[in-house]
Amino acid sequence: MADDNRVFIFDTTLRDAEQTPGASLKVNEKLEVAHQLARLNVDIIEAGFPISSNEDFEAVRRIGQEVVGPVICGLARAVLKDIDRAGEALQDAPKPRIHTFIGTSEIHLKGQMRKDQEQVLNMAVAAVERAKSYCADVEFSPMDAARTEPGYLFEVIEATIAAGATTINIPDTVGYAVPEEFGALIGRIIAEVPNSDQAIISVHCHDDLGMAVINALAAVKNGARQVECTINGLGERAGNTALEEVVMALKTRQDYFGYDTGVVSQEIVPSSRLVSRLMGIAVQPNKAIVGANAFAHSSGIHQDGVLKQRDTFEIMDPKIVGLDDTEIVLTARSGRAALRHRLEVLGYEVEQDELDRIYEDFVELADKKKEVFDEDLVEIVGGETVDATAHYELQYLHSVSGTGTVPSATVRLRIGDETVQQSAWGDGPVDAAYAAIGQATGSDIQLADYAIRAITSGSQALGEVTVHLARGDEKVRGRGVSTDVIEASAKAYVDALNRLAAKAAKEEHQTV
Binding residues for ligand KIV restricted to 78-137, rule: CB under 6 A:
101
By the rule CB under 6 A, 173 interacts with ligand KIV: yes
Q: Least distance in Å: CB of 29 to Zn ion?
A: 21
Alpha carbon of 312 to those of 315, 332, 402: distances in Å?
8, 22, 50
By the rule CB under 6 A, 43 interacts with ligand KIV: no
Q: How many angstroms separate the first and last alpha carbons of the chain?
A: 99
Question: Which residue lies nearer to ligand KIV by CB, 52 or 331?
Answer: 52
Question: Which residue lies nearer to ligand KIV by CB, 170 or 289?
Answer: 170
Q: Least distance in Å: CB of 104 to ligand KIV?
A: 10
Cα 30 from Cα 50, distance rounded (Å):
13
Helices (H), 456-484: none
Cα 61 from Cα 96, distance rounded (Å):
10
Q: Is 427 exposed, middle or buried (0-12, 13-18, 19+ CB in 10 A)?
A: exposed
Q: Least distance in Å: CB of 178 to Zn ion?
A: 18
CB half-sphere exposure, 106, CA atoms < 13 A: 4
Among Zn ion, ligand KIV, none, what does residue 399 contact (CB within 5–8 Å per kind)?
none
Nearest CA among 113, 229, 112 for reference residue 172: 229
By the rule CB under 6 A, 143 interacts with ligand KIV: yes
By the rule CB under 6 A, 204 interacts with ligand KIV: yes
Binding residues for ligand KIV restricted to 47-66, rule: CB under 6 A:
none
Residue from the set 141, 226, 303, 482 that interacts with ligand KIV by CB under 6 A: 141
For 118, other C-beta atoms within 10 Å of its C-beta total 10
By the rule CB under 5 A, 304 interacts with Zn ion: no
By the rule CB under 5 A, 158 interacts with Zn ion: no
Question: Which residue lies nearer to Zn ion by CB, 16 or 384?
Answer: 16
Q: Least distance in Å: CB of 188 to ligand KIV?
A: 19
Question: Which residue lies nearer to ligand KIV by CB, 148 or 261?
Answer: 148
C-alpha 363, offset from chain centre? 28
Rounded to the nearest 5 degrees, what angle is found at the Cα of 315, between the Cα atoms of 312 and 319? Answer: 110
By the rule CB under 6 A, 171 interacts with ligand KIV: yes
Q: Least distance in Å: CB of 203 to ligand KIV?
A: 10
Alpha carbon of 253 to those of 248, 256, 367: distances in Å?
8, 5, 39
Binding residues for Zn ion restricted to 8-67, rule: CB under 5 A:
16
By the rule CB under 6 A, 16 interacts with ligand KIV: yes
Are the C-beta atoms of 72 and 93 separated by less than 8 Å?
A: yes
In the complex, the residues that contact ligand KIV under the rule CB under 6 A are 16, 101, 141, 143, 169, 171, 173, 204, 206
In the complex, the residues that contact Zn ion under the rule CB under 5 A are 16
